[in-house]
Amino acid sequence: MTILVTGATGRVGRHVVDQLIARHADVRVLVRDPAKANFASSVEVVQGDMLDIEALRRAFTGVRTLFLLNAVAGDEFTQAIIALNIAREAGVERVVYLSVFDADRAVNVPHFAVKFGAERMLEAMGFSATILRPAYFIDNEVMIKDVIFNYGVYPMPIGSKGVAMIDARDIAEVAASELVRRDQASEKLPSETINLVGPDTLTGTGLAAIWSDILGRPVVYGGDDPSGFEQNLFNVMPKWMAYEMRLMAERYVSDGMVPQAGDVERLTRILGRPLHSYREFASQLAQSA
């Protein structure tokens, strides 16, 4: 049966599609702009978005398993509600949902609360689901590399509790593994939640030290002030989103994103290899600068 991937042209979704192709799955993608869907010819492309009911109905026809990724947006919860209702209407029972680490605890952060709401919907609507809860994406560091390289400052307010940053490639590979496992099962499997974390739990000062070592010159940590982070984001995103990112950063500082016992070992077993490390990613980013 067909696996439908939403968010297929994004950082995670594109890797999910590639991983599914490598596993010889039948893949369909829902995309706003087919011109960006430069996938293998075997991938079926449906044009539309998560609020386009007719496009969703076309996309879900003949699908057994769904990868649901809702990007951070003002109407993210509406998108999730509609997608899951259309999925159920179409007879889809198996879902892999990309949530966020500590979705059930950090409910003052809008997109965390939204994702926890979607998790509850999956349970209440009777889906057979794997809920993936990723920590902060290592790949986000691309957005701050110029500050690191040009000013010698690591600017993200990560704090001292520690954040187990994860590579998008690891997220996607676990997602593809779960999609295929559920799709190929002879019956609905029990639902489960998987924390997606990196191999190292990193602090703000620890990250600055990694960059100092890689670049061979001092890089300092910019500090734990999320308000300054919010002000900087005003230049690159809507103010409501910048405020939301501030709330998220406050959670990093107050609570961190610290793995539970066994999280790293579980992911290593699923992948059959070690997780990608922050230092590995940072070294590659520095080499490409």
Domain ranges across the chain: 2-134+167-196, 204-258+276-288
The pLDDT, as a whole number, for residue 183 is 97
Neighbours of 102 (CB within 10 A): 19
The pLDDT, as a whole number, for residue 74 is 87
CA 135 to chain centre: 8
Structure-model confidence comparison of residues 261 and 233, the more confident one: 261
Is 72's pLDDT higher than 90?
A: no
The band of 235, judged by pLDDT with boundaries at 50, 70 and 90, is confident
Is 27's pLDDT higher than 80?
A: yes
The pLDDT, as a whole number, for residue 24 is 96
**26: β partners:** 2
**2: β partners:** 26, 63
16-37: average pLDDT: 95
The whole-chain average pLDDT of the chain stands at 95
Is 71's pLDDT higher than 90?
A: no
Q: Which residue has the tokens 């996938």?
A: 39
The pLDDT, as a whole number, for residue 129 is 98
The pLDDT, as a whole number, for residue 112 is 95
Q: What is the CATH number of domain 2-134+167-196?
A: 3.40.50.720
Nearest of 82, 72, 87, 69 to residue 15 by alpha carbon: 69
In percent, how much of the chain has pLDDT > 70?
A: 100
Nearest of 117, 211, 113 to residue 158 by alpha carbon: 211
The pLDDT, as a whole number, for residue 81 is 94
The pLDDT, as a whole number, for residue 158 is 97
Please say whether the dihedral angle defined by the alpha carbons of residues 277, 210, 137 and 101, taken in this order, is positive or negative.
Answer: positive
Is 232's pLDDT higher than 90?
A: no
Q: Which residue has the tokens 């952060």?
A: 109
CA distance 138 to 276: 9
Is 289's pLDDT higher than 80?
A: no
How many angstroms separate the Cα of 144 from the Cα of each of 28, 61, 120, 152, 172?
A: 33, 41, 34, 11, 23
